[in-house]
Amino acid sequence: MVKHMKHILSLFAFLTVSIVSFSQDHTVRGFIFNNENGEVVPFEKAVLIPTEKSQAILGASTDVNGFFSIPKVPIGTYLLKVQTVEFKEYNKEVKVIEKGGITELRIDLIPVDAIGIDEVVISAETKAKTTEVLMSVTKLDKKGLERIPAVGAENDITAAFSVTPGVVTTGDQGGQLYVRGGTPIQNKVLLDGMTIYNPFHSIGFFSIFETELVKNVDIYTGGFDSKYGGRISSIMDITYRDGNKKNFGGKVSVSPFLAKLVVEGPIYRAKEGRPGAGSFIFSAKHALLDYTAKDLYRGVNNGNGLPYKFTDLYGKLTFATGQGSKISVFGFSNTDKVNYNESAALDFQQAGGGLSWILLPGGGKTFIKGHLTTSSYKTNFEEVGSQPRTSSIFGTDLGFDFSYFLKNESQIDYGIGINIFKTDYLTYNEVASKIQDQNNTVEIGAYANYKFVTKRFVVQPGLRVQAYASLSTISLEPRLGVKYNATDFFRLKLSGGRYSQNFTTASSDRDIVNLFNGLLSAPSNVQQNFITESGKEKNPKNGIQYSWHAILGGELDLTKNLMLNVEGYYKYFPQLSNINTNKLYEDVSEFSKEDDVYKKDFLIESGKSYGVDVLLKYTLNRLFLWGVYSYAKSTRWDGFTTYAPVFDRRHNVNIVASYAFGKKKDLELNVRWNFGSGLPFTPTSGYYQTESFSQGVNTDYTTSNSNSVGVLLGEFNSKRLPTYHRLDITVKKQFKFKNKTELEIIAAVTNAYNRKNIFYVNRVTNTKIYQFPFLPSLGISYKF
């Protein structure tokens, strides 16, 4: 394994040297900033217009860090232009006097009052239609998040994820999201490059993230490129903005659900002789349901209100140079606790922090990003009639990403990351057999990704090498994305590749809806032989999970403002690991003759998921419409039988509408309706009185009177829950004052027609917990 590691590092070093030694053409590059707060401006285009008509117009779009790079610029004089509806037009003369070298620029854009402008605000996704593959990805900024109805009068990223094509949610409580046949553990969530182990609170409306801090959210539901590794289903990549580098400010808000505070400002300001600046930003939110639910929502949870408690803290310090390089120091803490009517209780604690940096070497043409982070997560779950379950993880992650920009927005990206973590897991299966494991794990991942752009084609091949050192396993993962710009309004695209991950989880099949999803590195305590669905025999060495993705789709601009996106996908999971519900014996020499499927903690499975996602999006000035229909089917093979997993929802519909009223667009109506066909579950066929044999062989089981009840289960996942549907409505009214402060009042209704959707059933007590009923709320926020 050490030999393979040396080969990976040697290949990475060779790639770095090769790219640095590319041709010595002239490059015009820099960062674009918002002059009002010093924050970078992503996804805007800088254009070089030559004074000589014989030369071509050149340009490049800024990335999420506000950085652009225009290579291969001929000698001459140019007009640099940046034009957008949100900022005043920027023009600057740029002279290139030598064939090689670099021209560094800092562009400060002045915001304008866009009220009354009837132009379409072109999003990052729209701008990149012809230069990015954009397969199975939804891109949103803070404005996009705020269009989705605010549950509890508070906007949250969770709402954006739940209306994404291909995403199935188990409902309002529990916070579980399944993406195109993948389980929650198979979704990777990143915050500024750092892995977040549990992004969602127990109350499914809220994540640990603060919407006010969001700069950009990319949600990949499949076919993602080689930059991303360590998960086999989906990626959510979240980027936070920095604090205001020029002025102090913030936001306070309160609703029946939570109270929130955001404060930001400069640590030191830029001045002559010191163009760099420092800033801070801090956010805190705390659930108020302990104080409000019993009075305002008495009818919820069998008269016990909403039993949720959570607190989220986040802080960041940023120190930036005048040209855009920067380093940030950040930390976070999340706590969560819920008690479902005393039949089940769940809590978790999560904390961490680290460094992230962006470096633009003065003499080089490579853009460098990196991070060094550490974090911990621990969760506990208790249920009436079952043993407690616990899980914890502590990890450290170091990563470097490099970008080299080529002509016509082509580029090469490559990077390397090292992840070290420790996991500890304890659970019980349906026959109360104990399953416990502890692991120390080291992973090394390296990738290279090349994007080649022509007038008609975008071709993006890539390769990721994922090395699992503690398991002596290396996974080679080719990736490919292609887009064909057939016409100005119609584009075909495809993507796919191989994916792997070390993490696994175990969820008890006793739960009609799974509440507990602990974390564990890939187990080695798995069966030695696995019979595939086609009858072939495999000999797995460990529980590393693998998948193959194949996606084909098309984009059609029906009008200037109306876009249709259709994607068909197929995901094959050749190896999955799952808790062994058949375990009856301990894996010791005494039971050496017993089959592995009755004594190993985990079993190997395989699976398939396929479907079609249709997205129709309309954007024009005041009106925004988002319609999604998903058809999907998922199956799993456990070596004995084919079954439907708990997230196998056949039909899923999401409709979102947003409209701004008034001359100043200061009154906004947001509506969301969600429909989902029934999820599968294992029915209860009967009960029996258990016997503990407290007096050993002398116990008279004919006269003993045990209070313990056992459960007889029916055919696994053979029944379906009722259909799920819900209507949410939000109305927002803004009041803007001359001192640039802003007051906003939000009235929201969740489950407007009071649909009774099932959430959870305790098999022993038969206690039923429903999703949230009609929930009105009123919130107020003040931005200063």
- Report yes or no: 566 and 612 within 8 Å, Cβ to Cβ: yes
Q: Which tops the pLDDT comparison, 141 or 462?
A: 462
Over residues 482-489, the mean pLDDT reads: 94
For strand 187-191 and strand 234-240, is the pairing parallel, antiparallel, or unpaired?
parallel
Highest mean pLDDT of the ranges 316-330, 427-441, 707-721: 316-330
Domain extent for 516: 126-679
Report d(CA 443, CA 451) in Å as an integer: 26
Statement to judge: residues 87 and 212 lie in one domain:
no
Write down the pLDDT at residue 116.
42
Inside any domain, residue 742? no
Q: Please give the order of strands across the beta sheet that includes 67-70.
A: 67-70, 27-34, 102-109
- Residue 117 CB coordination number (10 Å): 12
pLDDT tier at 315, thresholds 50, 70, 90: very high
CATH number of the domain within which 628 lies: 2.40.170.20
Number of domains in the chain: 2
Write down the pLDDT at residue 438.
79
- Greatest Cα pair distance, the chain, in angstroms, is 103
Statement to judge: residues 73 and 190 lie in one domain:
no
Report d(CA 375, CA 349) in Å as an integer: 11
Write down the pLDDT at residue 449.
95
Please give the share of the chain, as a percent, with pLDDT higher than 90: 44
SS3 227: coil
Statement to judge: residues 106 and 209 lie in one domain:
no
SS3 471: helix
Phi, psi of 753 (to 5 degrees): -105, 20
Last residue of a domain, one of 66, 82, 114: 114
Closest CA to 376 of 175, 209, 197: 197
CA 252 to centroid of chain Cα atoms: 26
Highest mean pLDDT of the ranges 44-53, 171-180, 291-300, 347-356: 347-356
Q: pLDDT at residue 331 above 80?
A: yes
Statement to judge: residues 315 and 200 lie in one domain:
yes
Write down the pLDDT at residue 142.
82
Q: pLDDT at residue 654 above 90?
A: yes
Q: Environment class of residue 539 by beta-carbon count within 10 Å: exposed (0-12), middle (13-18) or buried (19+)?
A: exposed
Statement to judge: residues 108 and 146 lie in one domain:
no
Highest mean pLDDT of the ranges 112-121, 527-536, 628-637: 628-637
Write down the pLDDT at residue 727.
95
Write down the pLDDT at residue 673.
95
Inside any domain, residue 207? yes
Q: pLDDT at residue 240 above 90?
A: yes
Sequence-separated (6 or more) residues with CB below 8 Å from residue 511: 760
Statement to judge: residues 38 and 132 lie in one domain:
no
Write down the pLDDT at residue 205.
78
Over residues 677-690, the mean pLDDT reads: 78
Q: pLDDT at residue 587 above 90?
A: no
Last residue of a domain, one of 656, 679, 702: 679
Q: pLDDT at residue 176 above 80?
A: no
Closest CA to 348 of 356, 358, 338: 338
- Report yes or no: 277 and 268 within 8 Å, Cβ to Cβ: yes
Write down the pLDDT at residue 13.
56
pLDDT tens by residue, 16-69: 555 554 556 889 999 999 988 888 888 888 889 888 876 788 888 888 888 999
Write down the pLDDT at residue 124.
44
Please give the share of the chain, as a percent, with pLDDT higher than 70: 86
CA distances from 110 to 33, 43, 83, 90 (A): 9, 16, 11, 9
Least confident of 153-167, 450-464, 710-724: 710-724
- Which amino acid is present at 365? K
Inside any domain, residue 752? no
Which one-letter DSSP state was computed for residue 606? E
Statement to judge: residues 131 and 107 lie in one domain:
no
Write down the pLDDT at residue 766.
65
CATH number of the domain within which 6 lies: 2.60.40.1120
Cα angle 135, 551, 404 (rounded to 5 degrees) comes to: 40
Over residues 163-170, the mean pLDDT reads: 88
Statement to judge: residues 263 and 380 lie in one domain:
yes
pLDDT tier at 204, thresholds 50, 70, 90: confident
pLDDT, averaged across the chain = 84
Q: pLDDT at residue 688 above 80?
A: no
Write down the pLDDT at residue 362.
74
Write down the pLDDT at residue 11.
55
Write down the pLDDT at residue 433.
67
- Report yes or no: 203 and 156 within 8 Å, Cβ to Cβ: no
Inside any domain, residue 550? yes
Q: pLDDT at residue 225 above 90?
A: yes
pLDDT tens by residue, 367-401: 899 999 999 999 888 877 677 888 899 999 999 99
pLDDT tier at 119, thresholds 50, 70, 90: very low
Inside any domain, residue 569? yes
Q: pLDDT at residue 698 above 70?
A: no
Last residue of a domain, one of 114, 149, 178: 114
Statement to judge: residues 108 and 180 lie in one domain:
no
Q: Where are the alpha helices (DSSP H) in 70-133?
A: 124-127
Inside any domain, residue 739? no
pLDDT tier at 613, thresholds 50, 70, 90: very high
Q: Environment class of residue 408 by beta-carbon count within 10 Å: exposed (0-12), middle (13-18) or buried (19+)?
A: middle
Render 489-525 in DSSP notation, one character per residue. SEEEEEEEEEEEESEE----TT-SS------EEPPS-
Inside any domain, residue 689? no
Q: Which tops the pLDDT comparison, 41 or 596?
A: 41
Containing 358, the helix (H) or strand (E) segment is strand 344-359
Write down the pLDDT at residue 5.
54
Highest mean pLDDT of the ranges 28-32, 61-65, 193-197, 608-612: 608-612
Query: What are the respective helix, strand and coil percentages of the chain, to the nearest 5?
Result: 10, 55, 40
Closest CA to 48 of 456, 363, 365, 407: 407
Least confident of 254-263, 295-304, 663-672: 295-304
Closest CA to 546 of 233, 102, 161: 233
Write down the pLDDT at residue 509.
41
Cα angle 733, 300, 293 (rounded to 5 degrees) comes to: 60
Which one-letter DSSP state was computed for residue 261? E
Q: pLDDT at residue 135 above 60?
A: yes
Question: Residues 223, 229, 233, 234: is their CA dihedral positive or negative?
Answer: negative
pLDDT tier at 339, thresholds 50, 70, 90: confident
Statement to judge: residues 538 and 637 lie in one domain:
yes
pLDDT tens by residue, 261-280: 999 999 999 887 788 899 99
Write down the pLDDT at residue 370.
94
Statement to judge: residues 88 and 150 lie in one domain:
no
Containing 448, the helix (H) or strand (E) segment is strand 434-453
Write down the pLDDT at residue 203.
79
Inside any domain, residue 572? yes
Statement to judge: residues 172 and 203 lie in one domain:
yes
Over residues 74-98, the mean pLDDT reads: 89
